[in-house]
Amino acid sequence: MSLLERLVNNILKDPSEAKFRSFKKSNKKIQDTILSLKGGIDDLITTLGFASSADGEKYEFLDNELKVLKRGSNSIAEAIEPTKIKKMSDEERTKYMLLKQ
């Protein structure tokens, strides 16, 4: 999910940059991390505003409604936060918790 979060955040940072608005389904990292997730990952990707390209080889962000994408980014961040915190060192976790307050 963190890779999907990064892809979404790239669009939010620079919505007009074409290279950020699509990703190939055949990319090994995409397949191993995002597309291998169970439980409706295709529905999530579609809800975020992506659609399968005409040739079916990639997902393209076609929706210019960035509010939905921002809400999706926030939801993804919230969902993966516990895992990120577990992977932090004690020092990183302390700093993170201080900044979060």
pLDDT digits (tens, 9 = 90+) for 51-69: 999 999 999 998 777 998 9
Domains of the chain and any CATH numbers: 2-100 (1.20.58.2190)
State pTM to two decimals: 0.78
pLDDT of residue 37: 87
Report helix, strand or coil for 28. helix
pLDDT at 56: 92
Segments of the chain scoring below 50 in pLDDT: none
Q: What is the dihedral of CA 68, 66, 37, 7, to 10 degrees?
A: -160
Residue 63 φ/ψ, nearest 5 degrees: -80, 130
Helix intervals (H) in 38-101: 41-47, 66-87, 90-100
